[in-house]
């Protein structure tokens, strides 16, 4: 019988049964550790096998999945508890194959030369995609979804091991498997998902746990958790999940099974240990404990995953948090009314690891094509390791004949044309807007969610460059949590001299039920005060608050002096800014910008003699391509512009209706 050939980076699978008495629990690797010892041209690799139900004769059926990464002969020896099985009964497949070269993409890794970037098969990778966490009755099946994503140029999706709707949770499903065993219907559902993802070129970030499972306060599912002692489990409190020896053993057992069943997959982008772990019970009080759990589980997966997929988790953006210590990259989730300011504030500079936004959207349930467009294109011009990953998949692909994947197709076209994935040397820079009138509104959106204010003074540039609002939370804390906002935030503003000054309009969101009070000062003089009385539940502010500010330089101070917090959604300065705003990334011999008309309601679309100065690039001659986002093609013929030590200065197109992109590459640069 000829030895079969297997393309590199494709799946080779053998199914078999074992002699002797069956295991009491074939899912428990500590009882029955079945592993394939694979001899390759580069040495020996241990690949765990997994139990997949009974064979036709009723005996336990095992499978092992191997993905060759180098050409040459590969020979498998099946072992049980580290002892070779001389004669396993092969149900399908063979134990020897020859790997041959292929053009299939390989595994995702960190870029050793650029620690904040990814590689795939040795080539720079810049993922583009969105969340596809679960399927409700209204959502299309995953194979259809992935096909649409492929057509739009997307290559990344984030899926949860959820227990609701179709159930992709091995332990927690309508079939209610006994603890320590798994629902094979759910496991085979994941098999189908991985096969569909491979067919469409979509990489999966597989979220293994989500916060609600171990929370009694945020999206709580604890009352239904099979680990809950009230449901026949063994945990009396959700927070014990991170320390209870039995919970740790069961979690490791489950992760070993997952590594055996899906660790073969090059299109598995990463294991995500937790979604928003900060919302599990008592986690903010004991980060070291939860960080220790993350370190243990990351080390466990790396021991048992033969292909050492990337590992991450999600929580508040703080790379120094112990939960991220053992992760390959970090991610944050953001929901805010000013998504552009938020994305710009999350700079990669100074980080030790790759970072990107794994979920985002407008605050509350605000969803629109405009928000999706502005956030996605702003994100492309940051120095994050991937595009920002939109959460609301049901908005992109609602029930009905139409969808909104065109928004991603437009971004993918620009990524290809500008070769963004290759621009590993670029960093986010501030663009100065030169010329034109300062007649537009400048809208400031606090980028932080619930958390401590880490800065209290902010300079708001008058030249149109993006202000740095890092450290500003949208929750303005009152006296109950004064340690989270020791000082009232101050904003140094500079209103145009023409027109006699302007106004600052403060848009509030939620107000705590215990009551709050806002006080606003200009140059130390109080100009506004409003008290919000205590109520039975959190309320929403009924109106914005506007204060006058004279022309020139002044300090605006917003204080929270009542019992509890209020949320600042936006601060609008009017008139304040140039009619254009831009977000840019630049470095070496390349720059890319996303240029927008400010949303003031008075713009004519004409830019006149407005110029944009981009710093941080090598002097020389640059070929400049202005890009029509909607038509996915150059807007103007390529022009040659000279960059000096101050940067690259571009004359804006004569007119455009909403936004435009541009990239510039130094001539003669590799």
The secondary element (H helix, E strand) that includes residue 428 is strand 427-429
Classify residue 285 by its DSSP letter: G
| Positions in the chain whose pLDDT score sits under 50 | 601-605, 670
CA-based angle 340:431:113, to the nearest 5? 80
> Which residues neighbour 401 within 8 Å (Cβ) at sequence distance 6 or greater?
none
Other beta carbons within 10 angstroms of residue 103's beta carbon come to 8
State the pLDDT at residue 366.
65
Note the helical H segments in 166-325.
184-200, 245-262, 287-304
Q: How far apart are CA 281 and CA 239, in angstroms?
A: 5
Q: In this structure, what are the phi and psi dihedrals at residue 160, rounded to the nearest 5 degrees?
A: -95, 150
Q: How far apart are CA 132 and CA 157, in angstroms?
A: 6
State the pLDDT at residue 603.
46
Beta 96-100 vs 5-7: how paired, if at all?
parallel
Q: How far apart are CA 576 and CA 629, in angstroms?
A: 27
Provide the b/e sequence for 534-570 (b: ≥16 CB within 10 Å).
Answer: eeeeebebeeebebebeeeebebbbbbebbbbbbbbb
State the pLDDT at residue 365.
62
> Which residues neighbour 241 within 8 Å (Cβ) at sequence distance 6 or greater?
214, 227, 235, 247, 251, 280
Torsion (CA) 48, 52, 56, 60 in degrees, nearest 10: 60
Note the helical H segments in 554-615.
none
Name the one residue in this structure whose structure tokens are 């202005």.
626
* Omega prior to 575 cis, within 30 of 0: yes
Q: How far apart are CA 588 and CA 648, in angstroms?
A: 12
> Which residues neighbour 145 within 8 Å (Cβ) at sequence distance 6 or greater?
132, 139, 157, 393, 397
Q: How far apart are CA 314 and CA 324, in angstroms?
A: 9
Q: How far apart are CA 606 and CA 588, in angstroms?
A: 31
Burial class (CB in 10 A: 0-12, 13-18, 19+), 209: buried
| The model's pTM | 0.91
Are 644 and 617 spatial neighbours (Cβ–Cβ below 8 Å)? no
Burial class (CB in 10 A: 0-12, 13-18, 19+), 533: exposed
Q: How far apart are CA 145 and CA 408, in angstroms?
A: 13
State the pLDDT at residue 606.
56
Strand order in the sheet with 310-312: 129-131, 156-160, 203-207, 268-272, 310-312
Backbone torsion region of residue 404, taken as left when φ is above 0, otherwise alpha when ψ lies between -120 and 50, otherwise beta? alpha
Q: 310 in helix, strand or coil?
A: strand
Note the helical H segments in 520-660.
none
CA-based angle 626:630:636, to the nearest 5? 25
Strand partners, 279: none
Other beta carbons within 10 angstroms of residue 493's beta carbon come to 25
Are 408 and 376 spatial neighbours (Cβ–Cβ below 8 Å)? yes
Q: How far apart are CA 211 and CA 273, in angstroms?
A: 11
């Amino acid at each position: 019988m000829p030895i079969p050939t297997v393309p590199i980076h494709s799946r080779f699978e053998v199914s078999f049964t074992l002699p002797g008495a069956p295991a009491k629990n074939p899912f428990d690797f500590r009882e029955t550790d079945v592993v394939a010892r694979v001899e390759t041209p580069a040495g020996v690799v241990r690949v765990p096998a997994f139990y997949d139900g009974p064979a036709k004769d009723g005996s336990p059926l095992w499978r092992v999945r191997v993905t060759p990464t180098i050409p040459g002969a590969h020979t498998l020896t099946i072992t049980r508890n580290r002892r070779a099985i001389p004669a396993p009964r092969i149900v399908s497949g063979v134990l020897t194959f020859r790997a041959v070269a292929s053009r299939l993409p390989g595994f995702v890794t960190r870029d050793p030369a650029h620690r904040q970037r990814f590689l795939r098969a040795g080539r720079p990778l810049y993922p583009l995609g969105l969340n596809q966490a679960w399927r409700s009755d209204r959502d299309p099946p995953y194979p259809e979804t992935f096909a649409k994503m492929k057509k739009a140029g997307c290559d990344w999706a984030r899926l949860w091991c959820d227990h609701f709707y179709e159930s992709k949770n091995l332990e927690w499903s309508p079939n209610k498997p006994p603890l320590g065993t798994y629902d094979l219907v759910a496991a085979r559902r994941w098999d189908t998902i991985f096969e569909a993802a491979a067919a469409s070129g979509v990489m999966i970030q597989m979220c293994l746990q989500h916060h609600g499972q171990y929370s009694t306060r945020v999206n709580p599912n604890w009352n239904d958790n099979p680990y809950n002692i009230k449901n026949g489990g063994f945990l009396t409190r959700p927070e014990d999940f991170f320390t209870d020896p039995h919970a740790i053993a069961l979690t490791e057992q489950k992760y070993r099974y997952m590594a055996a069943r899906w660790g073969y997959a090059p299109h598995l982008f990463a294991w995500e240990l937790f979604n928003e772990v900060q919302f599990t019970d008592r986690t903010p009080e004991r980060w070291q404990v939860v960080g220790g759990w993350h370190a243990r589980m990351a080390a466990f997966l790396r021991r048992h995953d033969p292909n050492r997929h990337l590992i991450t988790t999600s929580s508040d953006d703080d790379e120094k948090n112990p939960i991220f210590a053992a992760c390959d990259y970090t991610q944050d989730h953001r929901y805010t009314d000013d998504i552009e300011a938020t994305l710009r504030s999350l700079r990669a500079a100074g980080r030790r690891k790759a970072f990107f936004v794994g979920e985002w959207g407008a605050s509350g349930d605000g969803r629109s094509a405009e928000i999706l467009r502005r956030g996605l294109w702003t994100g492309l011009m940051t120095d994050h390791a991937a595009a920002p990953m939109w959460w609301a998949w049901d908005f992109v692909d609602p029930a009905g004949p139409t969808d909104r994947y065109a928004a991603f197709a437009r971004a993918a076209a620009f990524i290809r044309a500008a070769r963004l994935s290759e621009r590993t040397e670029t960093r986010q820079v501030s663009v100065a807007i030169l010329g034109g009138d300062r007649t537009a509104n400048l809208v400031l959106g606090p980028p932080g969610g619930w958390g401590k204010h880490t800065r209290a003074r902010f300079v708001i540039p008058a030249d149109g460059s993006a202000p740095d609002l890092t450290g500003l939370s949208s929750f303005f804390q009152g006296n109950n949590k004064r340690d989270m906002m020791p000082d009232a935030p101050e904003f140094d503003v500079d209103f145009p001299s023409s027109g006699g000054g302007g106004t600052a309009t403060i848009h509030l969101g939620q107000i705590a039920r215990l009551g709050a009070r806002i006080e606003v000062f200009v140059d130390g003089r109080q100009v506004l005060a409003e008290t919000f009385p205590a109520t039975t539940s959190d309320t929403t502010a009924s109106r914005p608050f506007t204060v006058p500010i004279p022309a020139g330089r002044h300090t605006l101070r917003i204080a929270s002096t009542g019992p509890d917090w209020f949320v600042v959604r936006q601060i609008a300065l009017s008139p304040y800014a140039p009619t254009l705003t831009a977000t840019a990334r630049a470095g070496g011999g390349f720059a890319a910008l996303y240029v927008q008309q400010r949303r003031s309601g008075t713009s004519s679309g004409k830019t006149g003699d407005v110029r944009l100065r981009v710093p941080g690039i090598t002097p020389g001659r640059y070929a400049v391509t202005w890009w029509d986002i909607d038509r996915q093609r150059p807007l103007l013929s390529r022009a040659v512009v000279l960059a000096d030590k101050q940067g690259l200065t571009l004359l804006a197109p004569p007119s455009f209706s909403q936004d435009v992109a541009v990239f510039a590459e130094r001539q003669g640069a590799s």
